[in-house]
Amino acid sequence: MIALSLLFALAASGADAAPAGKEPGDLWEITSKMSMEGMPMEMPATTQKVCTPKTWTEPPGGNADKSCEMIEFKNSATGTTWKVRCAGPPAMTGEGEITRSGPDAYKGTMTMSMGDEGSMTMKLSGRRVGDCDRAESKREMAQLRGKVEAQAAAAQQQATAAQQHAADAKVTMCKGAVDAMDLRSMKAYESLCTDMAIKDMFCARLGTPEGFQLVCERPADSGTGLADAASYCGKNPEALRKPICEQALDELSLDLLGSCCPVQGKDLALRECAGRKYTAMIGSKYQSFCARYAHGVAAEGQ
C-alpha cells in the first residue's frame, strides 16, 4: 500500500529537475475524497493546493509515484481523461476523468483496481485560486517527495522488522513446546506451527534420553506423562523405555536410571541403596539415584 499512499498523498505535478528562474502556473485548490471497496467507514475529504502548468500534461496532483505510468492522457475543451498503470506492489490499473464547469473549476473521479485487494475510488473537485511559480513548486515538491520516500522506506523497514520479530516469536513458541516436551502446548500449537513440523520434532525428541526423561518423570495422571506422549506419537511406551534405559545403564546415567528405569536400575539399587538410611547416602554419587529410584518404586506400591 506504500505505492498507493504515494500516488495520492503528494499533491504536485511531475518529478522534473527543478529549473532556474520562474515558470508561470495556475494555483488550484483541490478537494479529494477516497473510498475503498469493503472499507466499513468513509475516509474524510482532504483539501490541498497544487501549482499546475498553464496547459495540463497530467492530472492536477500529477504522478507522484515513480512506479506509476500515466498513459492515454487527453485534454479537450470540456475536460480531461487519463489512464494510469502502477507496477506496485500492489500492481494497479486505473483511469480518471475531469469535467470542467468553467476555466476556473472542475469535478472528476479516479478509480484504481488492485486485483484481489479490491478497488478504490477518488472523488475530485477543484477551483483555481490564483497564479503560482511552477518552478518553485517543483523544488518544494522534490523536497517533499524525498521526505515521503524516506518515511516510506522507514515504514517498510519497521514493517519488515515487525514481521521478523513475529516470525522469531513464533519459532521460539513452537520450539519451546518441543524443548520442554510439553504435550498440552504441542496440541495447542499444532495448527500454528505447521511450517515447523513440531509433532515430528516432538516424537523424535521423545526417542532421546533427554526427551524421554522429561516426560517419564511426570505423574501418570498429568496428561503429559510418558503414556500420553507415546500415544500422541503412536508408539509403545515400554518399547521406547527399553533401549533408552539400557543405554542409561551402560553409561551409568544415574538420574535417568533412578527416575525412569525400574527394571534396569534394580540391581544397582539393591547394591547401592537397599538397607541404607538417607543420611548415610549424603555425599555419595548414588544419593540422587537412590532417592529417585525409591520414589519411583514407592509410587508403584513396591
* CA–CA separation, 104 and 28 (whole Å): 8
* CA–CA separation, 221 and 218 (whole Å): 8
* CA–CA separation, 265 and 301 (whole Å): 17
Q: H or E element: which one contains 144?
A: helix 134-179
Helix (H, G, I), strand (E, B) or coil at 32: strand
- HEC string of 43-58? CCCEEEEEEEECCCCC
Share of the chain above pLDDT 70, in %: 89
Residue 46 pairs in a beta bridge with: 32
Q: What is the mean pLDDT of residues 19-45?
A: 83
* Minimum mean pLDDT range among 143-152, 219-228, 232-241: 143-152
DSSP code of residue 90: S
Share of the chain above pLDDT 90, in %: 50
Q: Does residue 223 carry a pLDDT above 80?
A: yes
Q: What is the DSSP string of 213-268?
A: HHHHTS-GGGSSSHHHHHHHTT--HHHHHHHHHHHHHHHT-HHHHHHH-TTTTHHH
**Distances from the Cα of 196 to the Cα of 112, 164, 175, 252, angstroms:** 39, 16, 9, 34
Q: Which band of pLDDT confidence, cut at 50, 70 and 90, is reported for residue 141?
A: confident
Q: Which band of pLDDT confidence, cut at 50, 70 and 90, is reported for residue 298?
A: low
* CA–CA separation, 34 and 42 (whole Å): 8
Contact 213, 259 (CB under 8 A): yes
Q: Does residue 15 carry a pLDDT above 70?
A: no
- pLDDT tens sequence across 73-103: 898 888 999 998 888 777 889 999 999 998 8
From 95, 88, 91, 50, select the one nearest 66 (Cα to Cα): 88
DSSP code of residue 102: E
Contact 33, 41 (CB under 8 A): no
- Cis preceding-peptide flag for 44 (omega within 30 of 0): no
Helix (H, G, I), strand (E, B) or coil at 99: strand
**Pick the residue with more confidence: 152 or 300?**
152
pLDDT score of 267: 94
How much is the pTM? 0.54
Q: Which band of pLDDT confidence, cut at 50, 70 and 90, is reported for residue 12?
A: very low
pLDDT score of 20: 52
* CA–CA separation, 113 and 111 (whole Å): 7
From 152, 136, 122, select the one nearest 30 (Cα to Cα): 122
